Structure 1
Amino acid sequence: MSERVVIVGGGPTGMWLACELRLAGVRTVVLERDPEIDPHSRALTVHARTIETFALRDAHQGLLAEGGRIPSGHFAVLDDRLDFAELDTDFPYTLTIPQARTTELLQQRAVAMGADVRRGHQVTGCVDTGDTVTVSVDGPEGAYVLDAAYVVGCDGTRSEVRRCAGIEFEGTPSTALGVLGDVVLSDPPPGPVTSQWTTRGTFMLVPLSGGRHRIVVHSPEDLRDDWPGELTLEELRERVRRIAGTDYGMHSPSWLSRYSNTSRVARHYRKGRILLAGDAAHQHMPMGGVGLNVGVQDAMNLGWKLAATVRGRATDALLDTYHHERHPVGQDTIEHTQAQTAIMSVFSPQGAALRSLLGKLIVERPQLNDALAQRLSGLAVAYTLPGQRHPLAGCRAPNLKLSDAEQLFDLLRDGRPLLIDFGRVDGFASDRAAAPFDRYRCPQPVEQSRAAWADVSSALIRPDGYVAWASDDTDAAALTAGAANAVAALHAPQPAPVQPEGNHA
């Protein structure tokens, strides 16, 4: 059987998955129908957990060098923005960088790591035969066929891979639209972000590179399910003037577009040897710029599992956990974005009162600010791991300080599971328990400022930076046995509870 994985779709999700597979030595082909990277970037935002994801592989420096940093985020474009200052991360901000540039940087990395990236190659069909997947491709030099161990559809909301697999895309149709434009402003407002909500509509304005600005508008006339035609510069001007009293001298548009709140999630993220990630698995209103981020984190969750399965280091049950862990995240993303759409779409005095009340609660209740900020940034995502009872199990591991010279993220760059011995229990045979994975023993016990980690004796960290197992045990024999069992189970997990069928969107 072929050990090749074919990724259909060359956006950030597909490129990051290619990087992860190549890190594990898996033959990887990326098929992208567009001959060039689309210069029009609907996504501009890279959130904290996605920066951490890249940092786990030391792939974040280029993004940090080029992106703008905004120490806050928005929920439904409320006047009171979410403060990221208290987020428990090395990156307490939103990074603004066009998706086209993010894709370019990730593509460069994937190619440098040995991925076969083929642009201008459109997939016309794929068939799962049980032992392999046959992929039909229309390339610049004609049609051809590829055989693959697995195929991953990262090919957007109109996914050909999802169609071929017969996976239902369930949810709700559009009830609201929005418009956006990338323009030059003769009289731009000061500050990194400008936003305003009135009963006449709401808009947000964000500076881009090259002297351009992104303007996003949502108005009462957008509460409709039909598409009113192509957006024009004059329509965008009129909408912004109506809300802000000025159009900021906008001119020279490079992109004008409409979008909708159509919200759907794939019933299955895996069907046999075919898997889905990113927009092929979930579609939603682009509120808060979370779409790219959820897709990259899909790829991070899937990459190490798929690599371990292809290389024969894991049972098929590990690949099943991809759906069980990421499908609820897709559902949650739809809930989060639909709730914001509802708050933004009530253009009335009652809507103004609701927005005012929510804004006051965010300011008065720091816990609410923090909860929404963690959700928006992706830091709140945690997985349910069957059989694991420690409160850290399934949670993201922060960049813990392990010695004067090393932090946790430094030790995960090779994409292998890591057993950490915090040095608190004499006689703990962590070197034997860790085999065949990596093991790190703190040279001396390090005081952890985070209360949840203060008493942890040992923890097994997955390649995607989530805690597979943790223990506060102080008995050396019990700790050794517990760690060894956790290591053995990582690639042969217990089956997750069966979820009921139905429309969860």
Structure 2
Amino acid sequence: MRRGAATRVVVAGGGPVGLLVAAELAGYGVDTVVLEARDTVDEHPKANTLHARTVQCLVRRGYLDLPVSAERAGTVSTPFHFGGLHMLAITAPASEPPAVVKRLQADLEREFEGRATARGARVLRAHRVMTARQDADRTVVVAEGPDGAAEFTADFLVGADGARSTVREQLGFGCEEQLPTVSAAMGVVRVAEPGALPEGWRSTPRGWTVARPLPDGRHLVRVLDLSAPHPDRRTPLTRQELEAELSRITGHPVPLSEATSLSRFSDFTRLADQYRRGRAFLVGDAAHAHFPIGGQGLSTGLLDGLNLAWKLAFAVRGTAGEGLLDTYESERRPVAQQVVANTRAQLALMKPDPALRELRELFEQLLTRAEGGRLVGGMISAQGLDLPARGPGASPWEGRFLDNATLGGTDLIGLLAGGRPLLLTSDDSPAQEAAGWAHVVTTVPVPRSALPAPALLVRPDGYIAWAPDGGRLTEALRSWFGEPRP
């Protein structure tokens, strides 16, 4: 076996989440290697929805290149759905990017990979992770590549290797699992008879079809059978089977002249018991899997990556407070629990059971009322969940996301682009207290009217880490970013 790279962080898996982690780590100057089994970006249609909090966090880190104006007041709303009920609206501050952004997963992979390699990360494609282990001082990964097996050592290992994660299995992460109850399939098809395939979301007594037209005249289709799971969902899907399922669910023939990018999915659910074991971490589908409704899987995984990356970078660079890495699990696992719960609730609403008619009508009313819409929209968009506070006596502002606003000659998004925590303050006292952390925190004087409090400590991901009514600033700085320096 040849000896591969010795590095600070190995990322197993080069999908969008793994490549985003690598891009962020490399941006902080952390030597990073990505091991990806595929030799090219996967162009098959997959997830393409980015929800508000994910969009907001990505834009703060310099991705997506979307129009933003901190001067805009009020809110904006984007129509969405919950369990096939299209009364929902996702609302976000007008000073932020759009609340829902459509971006192909393959395009995100290319953007993140380009950013990662430009910053110095090494993305090794055609390298399949075979084994992983760790001890007190390092992690070791063996990957099979074009030149045979190679061993890679690192201080930390990030498992971004998908639902069948080798890292999760090899390092003994436990999981809560729920077996599938439904069968679903998808593909890109060309319909032989125009008009035979109803577009949009369609419910019948036998299940659901979802069809979206593509620019070349084909359709991206999904078909959902709610009666039972497929007896072997790893059996390759064929054009004939997809055609038969579409015809059966719609209740009339839907002949297909072409079908590509065929795949199966279900409501199989998995949630890792831990997101961290020693020097190894799980992100994205390696940590959580659920029924893919509402476009929450990709967004949840990308927020995992953004949450972990800056903490891991600070740990490598020696600017992390004691216990900072443990906050990754305490902040992100509850989010995945909520996603699992709401996707199962949506699936229940979609079942063509007459006994559920009153329940669906009730949800329709809730989604159209302001309070109910905010609750469900905040859940789907991840804007409705604050982070847990550090402990008793924390400020009510701690853990909340700070909306974009004009701060002097720029805006919050521009200030966070450098990846450093910010101390926003309207007087000199906090700045003097933070002098020992000038190597990691940027102090920005701002007008008092620009902030909801006299001073705020803001994390690189845009969440508030401290406000004056939450104890001593020096204690918060030490907790987040370690000991001061002269």
CA distance in 1, matches of 2:156, 2:384: 30
Partner of 1:487: 477
Equivalent pair of 1:22/1:115 in contact (CA under 8 Å): yes
CA distance in 2, matches of 1:189, 1:491: 60
Do structure 1's residue 311 and structure 2's residue 322 form an aligned pair?
Answer: no
The structural deviation recorded for 1:13 is: 0.7
Instruction: Give runs of aligned pairs for residues 70-469 of structure 1, distance below 5 A.
Output: 71-78=78-85, 80-85=86-91, 90-184=96-190, 187=194, 194-208=200-214, 210-221=216-227, 223-224=228-229, 226-227=231-232, 229-241=235-247, 251-344=257-350, 346-363=351-368, 365-387=369-391, 389-403=394-408, 405-421=409-425, 423=426, 426-433=427-434, 435-436=437-438, 437-442=441-446, 444-446=447-449, 453=452, 456-469=453-466
CA distance in 2, matches of 1:62, 1:401: 17
State the TM-score, normalizing by the size of structure 2. 0.88
CA distance in 1, matches of 2:119, 2:271: 32
CA distance in 2, matches of 1:214, 1:82: 23
Partner of 1:477: none
Partner SS, residue 429 of structure 2: coil
CA distance in 2, matches of 1:374, 1:250: 39
Q: Gaps spanning 5+ residues in structure 1: where?
A: 474-480, 494-505
Alpha carbons of 1:356 and 1:429: their partners in 2 closer, same or farther (altered >3 Å)?
A: closer
Deviations 1:251-273 (A, max 9, x none): 42221221011111111111111
Equivalent pair of 2:430/2:473 in contact (CA under 8 Å): no
**The 10-residue stretch of structure 1 (433-442 or 155-164) with the greater mean CA deviation from structure 2:** 433-442
Residue 35 of structure 2 is aligned with which of 31, 34, 57? 31
Alpha carbons of 1:246 and 1:463: their partners in 2 closer, same or farther (altered >3 Å)?
A: farther
**The 10-residue stretch of structure 1 (316-325 or 295-304) with the greater mean CA deviation from structure 2:** 316-325
CA distance in 1, matches of 2:375, 2:434: 37
Partner SS, residue 306 of structure 1: helix
Partner of 1:48: 52
Do structure 1's residue 15 and structure 2's residue 12 form an aligned pair?
Answer: no
The structural deviation recorded for 1:153 is: 0.5
**The 10-residue stretch of structure 1 (460-469 or 250-259) with the greater mean CA deviation from structure 2:** 250-259
**The 10-residue stretch of structure 1 (318-327 or 199-208) with the greater mean CA deviation from structure 2:** 199-208
CA distance in 2, matches of 1:162, 1:63: 38
CA distance in 1, matches of 2:214, 2:55: 19
Alpha carbons of 1:122 and 1:231: their partners in 2 closer, same or farther (altered >3 Å)?
A: closer
Equivalent pair of 1:85/1:92 in contact (CA under 8 Å): no
Deviations 1:13-61 (A, max 9, x none): 1011011111111000000011111221321211122211210122112
Alpha carbons of 1:469 and 1:210: their partners in 2 closer, same or farther (altered >3 Å)?
A: farther
Which letter does structure 1 place at the counterpart of 2:144?
Answer: D
Alpha carbons of 1:269 and 1:427: their partners in 2 closer, same or farther (altered >3 Å)?
A: closer
Between structures 1 and 2, the one with greater strand share = 2
Alpha carbons of 1:63 and 1:236: their partners in 2 closer, same or farther (altered >3 Å)?
A: farther
The structural deviation recorded for 1:93 is: 3.4
Q: Gaps spanning 5+ residues in structure 2: where?
A: 1-5, 69-75
Alpha carbons of 1:135 and 1:338: their partners in 2 closer, same or farther (altered >3 Å)?
A: same
Deviations 1:375-397 (A, max 9, x none): 11122232112225322211222
Partner SS, residue 71 of structure 1: strand
Which letter does structure 2 place at the counterpart of 1:458?
Answer: A
CA distance in 1, matches of 2:92, 2:364: 18
CA distance in 2, matches of 1:406, 1:249: 56
CA distance in 1, matches of 2:230, 2:255: 31
Root-mean-square deviation (Å): 2.9
Alpha carbons of 1:262 and 1:243: their partners in 2 closer, same or farther (altered >3 Å)?
A: closer
Alpha carbons of 1:190 and 1:83: their partners in 2 closer, same or farther (altered >3 Å)?
A: farther
Count, aligned residues: 466
Partner SS, residue 326 of structure 2: helix
